[in-house]
Amino acid sequence: MGLTLTEKILKAHVVDGEFVKGSEIGIRIDQTLTQDATGTMAYLEFEAMGVPRVKTERSVAYIDHNTLQSGFENADDHRFIGSCAKKHGIYFSRPGNGICHQVHLERFGAPGKTLIGSDSHTPTGGGIGMIAIGAGGLDVAVAMGGGAYYITYPKIVKVELTGKLSPWVSAKDVILEVLKRLSVKGGVGKVIEYCGEGVKTLSVPERATITNMGAELGATTSIFPSDEITRQFLKAQKREDVYVPLSADEDAEYDEIVEINLSELVPLAACPHSPDNVKSMAELGEMKIDQVCIGSCTNSSLMDMMKVAHILKGKTVHPDVSLSIAPGSKQVLNMLAQNGALAILIDAGARILESACGPCIGMGQSPNSKGVSLRTFNRNFEGRSGTKDGQVYLVSPETAAISAVTGVLTDPRTIESTFEFTMPEEFVINDNMIALPAPEEEMDKVEILRGPNIKPFPETAPLADTIDCGCSLKVGDNITTDHIMPAGAKILPLRSNIPAISNFCFTVCDEKFPVRAKEMGKSIIVGGSNYGQGSSREHAALAPLYLGVKAVLVKSFARIHRANLINAGILPLTFVNESDYDLISQGDELVIADVRAAVESGKTELTVTNKTTGKDIPVLCELSGRTKDIMLAGGLLDYTRESLK
């Protein structure tokens, strides 16, 4: 039996575990990336491990999230990360150089390689045939130190693409269609592999839009084959040397098959407040809009921007609409400037933002109260825009641009002209905003520059014999890491300061949670299904750790967040019977007796006794050999320190 593309790359990288479906495997990591909002912690963790220089083929530290700098904190973090990069052998992409995923695709990604990044949209690299996975900062730190990255051998879903996209229907509509069919939890434990004749009709940036937003399916990653189109893209980036052709074997077997005829797709929008709440333009009608934002790691390529410029040429943004545009990288912005498209955007009245995440993570451009905002981004979770009652719709750049002109949600197929984008034969390349690390012989001389906001990793403790405490919070289904640890311009500067940032933990759901949890000293959180979906931010585990959360008991977890909880030494538990969720109320006193002994002995079924009601609740604690040892040690940092001894 032949292999899928995913299996081929994983097989070439497996260093630990049995290469069979469902088992935990450790893979060698060729490349890592970090961004600044998760990077400070990742480098503090890397320092704590005591490895002098990264052991990967390429590690890159990007500054793209916290670029507002309304106080000293972000600038201090940038300096800290820059100095760590210089000292430890890491390339440093300076603020202004662009969004990590866009720049990595342009300048560093390579087919057949493995990449983990402390950002959930790392799968963007799948657009050029990499196995690129989002992870917590601590996992990235371990990989930088040469350690393996562990995943469950995934189920592999084949998405068979046929046909060709119709004019003004976009790659964004492909992934929105996939989300509509599979939902935000449909990808958990799976890799989404794109195959079929339709693949040849999609350029690298289009493929990257699709793999990027595969994160919203909860998938481990998504991947496209590496083919002639990949080669041409890499050649135009003057990196043809890293090209290798890669595809699945003809007789590869898949766990699931999804068929999509690109010719049949129509423009779509994900409605508030979930990326899988997808509707067509016809279903939504001509809704009045207040704001349009174009950019983010999903849709900020040169191709996207050129389509937008074509639509905006000679037009003016509707008087009731604010349009902002953030080209994804310095390369994109520079090319727009050189070919005149930037002037078209400015002329139409667009507010040009720096090449960074910006409004996507609530760094400015929050919509007005109850404002309807069309965004080309990948997430529209409640409050993420910075306006609690903002109504964010996720759309393609084509839909966003035409709607900015008309002032109402508009089907881009109403545009009378046609536009065919030809990928450039040569991109404008100038890597002068990527600082190189110090040579090995000079690295000892590099001083780490630490600002006063940078506080150490919170204290951990080995798993207790018995967990005996109250339920400090009960939440429902699909809780995102934006609920657990909100971001935005006010809170993001505190990413290096866990004591301070934990004061905002869960405040979107319950303002009193941080104070209550602190008063309780230790506690358990209860939740529904797909708990912790969304971002890779380990702060959504570190803040609860700091607030004394010992276990999280839910119907099901999202992949990265579950790993982050284990890495932080917080016990992840799931209900054996989902209906038992109803047997616990916030405030109930809970006991998990002899939990340490049970975990040590490899027992997977434990009992949570609700002392308040007297009921026993069976729960699952599924830890493998390695994750079991991490839990017992009190988290990945302690475990790694132990194993380095």
- The catalytic residues are 64-65, 119, 379, 535, 537
Q: Of the two residues 341 and 360, which places its CB atom closer to ligand SF4 in the complex?
A: 360
**By three-state DSSP, how is residue 98 classified?**
strand
Query: How many residues of this chain interact with ligand MIC, rule: CB under 6 A?
Result: 14
* Cβ contacts of 247 within 8 Å, gap of 6 or more: 5, 195, 225, 226, 227
Q: Of the two residues 73 and 119, which places its CB atom closer to ligand SF4 in the complex?
A: 119
**Does 38 engage in binding with ligand MIC (CB under 6 A)?**
yes
Q: What is the DSSP letter of 242?
A: G
Residue 38 binding: pick among ligand MIC, ligand SF4, none (C-beta 5-8 Å cut-off by kind): ligand MIC
**Does 483 engage in binding with ligand MIC (CB under 6 A)?**
no
- Considering only CA atoms, which of 38, 39, 91, 37 is closest in space to residue 65? 37
Q: What is the rounded distance in angstroms from the CA atom of residue 481 to the CA atom of residue 495?
A: 14
**By three-state DSSP, how is residue 332 classified?**
helix
**Does 487 engage in binding with ligand MIC (CB under 6 A)?**
yes
**Does 32 engage in binding with ligand MIC (CB under 6 A)?**
no
Name the minimum Å distance from CB 298 to ligand SF4.
Answer: 7
**Does 183 engage in binding with ligand MIC (CB under 6 A)?**
no
Name the minimum Å distance from CB 527 to ligand MIC.
Answer: 19
Residues of this chain that bind ligand SF4 (CB under 6 A): 65, 99, 119, 121, 296-297, 357, 360-361, 377-378
- Amino acid at position 641, single letter: R
What is each CA distance from 520 to 311, 412, 476, in whole angstroms?
A: 57, 54, 22
Is 519 exposed, middle or buried, given 0-12, 13-18 or 19+ CB atoms closer than 10 A?
exposed
**Does 56 engage in binding with ligand MIC (CB under 6 A)?**
no
Name the minimum Å distance from CB 484 to ligand MIC.
Answer: 11
Long-range contacts of 398-401 (CB under 8 A, 24+ apart): 398/168, 398/170, 398/267, 398/307, 398/308, 398/311, 399/170, 399/267, 399/269, 399/281, 399/374, 400/292, 400/293, 400/294, 400/308, 400/374, 400/375, 400/376, 401/292, 401/294, 401/307, 401/308, 401/311, 401/312
Q: Of the two residues 83 and 536, which places its CB atom closer to ligand MIC in the complex?
A: 536
Q: Which stretch binds ligand MIC (CB under 6 A): 9-17, 163-171, 447-455, 530-538?
A: 530-538
Name the minimum Å distance from CB 336 to ligand MIC.
Answer: 24
Name the minimum Å distance from CB 386 to ligand MIC.
Answer: 13
Residue 99 binding: pick among ligand SF4, ligand MIC, none (C-beta 5-8 Å cut-off by kind): ligand SF4
Question: Could you tell me where the DSSP H helices lie in 588-634?
Answer: 595-600, 625-633
Residue 537 binding: pick among ligand SF4, ligand MIC, none (C-beta 5-8 Å cut-off by kind): ligand MIC
- Amino acid at position 325, single letter: I
- 297 — phi, psi (to 5°)? -65, -10
Structural element, H or E, at residue 575: strand 571-575
Q: Of the two residues 37 and 176, which places its CB atom closer to ligand MIC in the complex?
A: 37
**Does 116 engage in binding with ligand MIC (CB under 6 A)?**
no
Q: Which stretch binds ligand MIC (CB under 6 A): 118-126, 189-197, 239-247, 626-634?
A: 118-126
**Does 37 engage in binding with ligand MIC (CB under 6 A)?**
yes
Q: Of the two residues 17 and 534, which places its CB atom closer to ligand MIC in the complex?
A: 534
How many Cα atoms sit within 13 Å of 410 on the Cβ side? 20
Are 115 and 125 in contact by the 8 Å Cβ rule? The answer is: yes
What is each CA distance from 173 to 252, 437, 438, 444, in whole angstroms?
A: 27, 40, 44, 50
**Does 517 engage in binding with ligand MIC (CB under 6 A)?**
no
**Does 348 engage in binding with ligand MIC (CB under 6 A)?**
no
Name the minimum Å distance from CB 101 to ligand SF4.
Answer: 6
Structure tokens at 68: 């507002």
Q: Of the two residues 359 and 534, which places its CB atom closer to ligand MIC in the complex?
A: 534
Q: Kindly report the number of other CB atoms within 10 A of residue 12's CB atom.
A: 13
**By three-state DSSP, how is residue 456 classified?**
coil
* Cβ contacts of 511 within 8 Å, gap of 6 or more: none
Residue 353 binding: pick among ligand MIC, ligand SF4, none (C-beta 5-8 Å cut-off by kind): none
Residue 171 binding: pick among ligand MIC, ligand SF4, none (C-beta 5-8 Å cut-off by kind): none
Residue 562 binding: pick among ligand MIC, ligand SF4, none (C-beta 5-8 Å cut-off by kind): none
**Does 119 engage in binding with ligand MIC (CB under 6 A)?**
yes
Q: What is the rounded distance in angstroms from the CA atom of residue 85 to the CA atom of residue 125?
A: 22
Residue 296 binding: pick among ligand SF4, ligand MIC, none (C-beta 5-8 Å cut-off by kind): ligand SF4
Are 127 and 225 in contact by the 8 Å Cβ rule? The answer is: no
Name the minimum Å distance from CB 366 to ligand SF4.
Answer: 14
Are 130 and 111 in contact by the 8 Å Cβ rule? The answer is: yes
Q: Of the two residues 379 and 474, which places its CB atom closer to ligand MIC in the complex?
A: 379
Q: Which of 530, 533, 536, 556 binds ligand MIC (CB under 6 A)?
A: 536
Which residues contact ligand MIC (rule: CB under 6 A)? Answer: 37-38, 65, 119-121, 134, 361, 379, 487, 534-537
